[in-house]
Structures are given as structure tokens and as C-alpha cells.
């Protein structure tokens, strides 16, 4: 062996505590566990399928050439939409389970600690950072307060809303005796007009699309401008660069 010593990179396998989002003492921190990463990419794929098929379900082409009995395009679109909806729903339930069983960072998209001392100040600092009013951002391991608030309001709540309204609309086809109607029929007690449920569900699509665009932009921006790598959702480890 040569006389040069290879530097040893200390990897902190920190599971953290609830609400712990402070500066790390090491260079690399284990943030996102395998179930979270697996869910993230499966959920992303399901969301793409749901968004594309949902758009065509809500804004279908006016006509198709040829004999109607030879066409099943809309049936395939609906099947893909329903299948992706089941994948997203089961994944969301498993994600809630892992928020309970996983480390502190697995809970961030479900719980915004607005009661924590200093949270509002950190939120304001993060907003200033995103608005290009601050030259430096506070180094955080998980989501910063602004990202956490955005994830909860635009993703978690909207996903729950889309699942509820989606299965309620599905129940109209499966019938009043189905489990879909038993669990989600209450949606029509709030919005008795089925078209209102359709419209609300379709509007939810654009909330999700807006969130995805902001999410991708913010992730790339953080990698370029701040000291945090975006590869954590692939490897699970976040490189906190100086």
C-alpha cells in the first residue's frame, strides 16, 4: 500500500427524534429509509399516470374516427386511472404506517410542528431564501419549514382529498353495496351534486401538478444554491456540503 492515507468519511446513521431538524455534525446523514424512498418513486409513477389519464377523463377528445364498437381507448384510460389510483391509495396507507414506525424524517410530510419554538422564524428565513432575499439558507437535514408546510398542504392533504373524492366517484359505478360507497359515500353528503365532486376532483389534479412543478424546481435549486444534495431520495443519505 502507498503511504497516502485515504480519508474516512463518517456516515451518521441518525434516526433522530421527532421535530429534530437541526444542523448535522457530520458530512453525510442517513435521512430517508428504504420504505420512504421506494414509496416516493412508486407514488411519483402513479401520480404521472393519474395526472395524464385524469386529464383525458375530464377533457376527453370530442370524437374518434371509425366504428364506435371497435374503439376501447377510453376504457383503457379509465382502467389505467383506476389501477394507478389503487396503487397510490395503498401506498399512502403504507406511508402513514411508516410515518409511525420510521425515523423522525418519515413524519415530516404529515406533521408540521408550528408549535415548536423558532418554527415561524425559521419559516420566514426559508421564505426569504426562496424569494432570493437571503444569500444563505439554514443548513437543515430534512425538509426546511417552508418545504415541510408546502408538502403537507399541497401534497398530503390534497392526496387524501383526491383519494376520498376518487373512490366516491368510483362508488357510483360499483353501486351502493360496495365497500367504496360504504367508506367514501359520505363525500356526497358534503357535495350532493356529483358534478361538483367531479369538478373538485379535477381541480385537485391541477393542485398536484402545481406541487410537482414546485417540488422539482425547489429540489434542483437546493442542489445548486444551497449546501444539500438532492440524491438523498436515491441513496437515503444527504451530503451536507459546506
Question: What pLDDT is attached to residue 140?
Answer: 78
Three-state secondary structure string covering 200-229: HHHHHHHHHHHHHHHHHHHHHHHHHHCCEC
pLDDT at residue number 25: 46
Q: What is the pTM of this model?
A: 0.83
Q: For residue 30, what pLDDT is reported?
A: 86
What is the reported pLDDT for 18?
A: 34
pLDDT reported for residue 141 = 80
Predicted pLDDT of residue 44:
96
Q: Are 28 and 237 in contact (CB under 8 A)?
A: yes
Question: Are residues 9 and 27 in contact, defined by beta-carbon separation less than 8 angstroms?
Answer: yes
Query: Which element (helix H / strand E) includes 11?
Result: strand 11-12
Beta bridge partners of 23: none
- pLDDT given at position 8: 30
Strand ranges (DSSP E) for 111-201?
none
Q: Return d(Cα 74, Cα 62) in angstroms, integer.
A: 12
The segments of the chain whose pLDDT lies below 50 read 1-25
Amino acid at each position: 500500500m502507498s503511504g497516502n492515507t485515504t480519508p474516512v468519511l463518517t456516515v451518521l446513521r441518525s434516526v433522530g427524534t421527532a421535530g429534530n431538524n437541526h444542523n448535522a455534525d457530520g458530512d453525510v446523514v442517513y435521512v430517508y429509509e428504504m420504505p420512504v424512498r421506494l414509496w416516493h418513486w412508486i407514488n411519483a409513477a402513479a401520480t404521472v399516470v393519474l395526472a395524464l389519464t385524469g386529464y383525458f377523463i375530464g377533457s376527453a377528445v370530442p370524437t374518434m374516427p371509425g366504428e364506435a364498437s371497435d374503439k376501447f381507448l377510453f376504457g383503457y384510460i379509465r382502467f389505467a386511472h383506476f389501477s394507478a389510483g389503487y396503487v397510490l391509495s395503498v401506498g399512502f396507507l403504507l406511508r402513514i404506517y411508516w410515518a409511525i414506525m420510521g425515523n423522525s424524517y418519515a413524519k415530516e410530510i404529515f406533521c408540521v410542528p408550528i408549535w415548536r419554538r423558532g418554527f415561524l422564524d425559521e419559516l420566514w428565513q426559508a421564505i426569504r431564501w426562496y424569494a432570493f432575499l437571503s444569500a444563505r439558507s439554514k443548513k437543515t437535514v430534512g425538509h426546511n419549514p417552508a418545504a415541510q408546510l408546502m408538502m403537507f398542504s399541497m401534497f398530503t392533504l390534497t392526496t387524501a382529498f383526491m383519494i376520498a373524492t376518487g373512490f366516491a366517484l368510483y362508488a357510483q359505478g360499483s353501486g351502493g353495496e360496495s365497500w367504496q360507497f360504504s367508506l367514501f359515500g359520505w363525500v356526497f353528503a358534503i357535495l350532493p351534486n356529483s358534478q361538483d365532486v367531479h369538478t373538485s376532483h379535477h381541480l385537485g389534479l391541477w393542485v398536484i401538478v402545481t406541487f410537482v412543478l414546485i417540488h422539482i424546481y425547489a429540489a434542483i435549486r437546493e442542489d445548486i444554491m444551497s449546501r444539500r444534495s438532492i440524491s438523498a431520495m436515491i441513496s437515503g443519505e444527504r451530503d451536507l456540503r459546506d
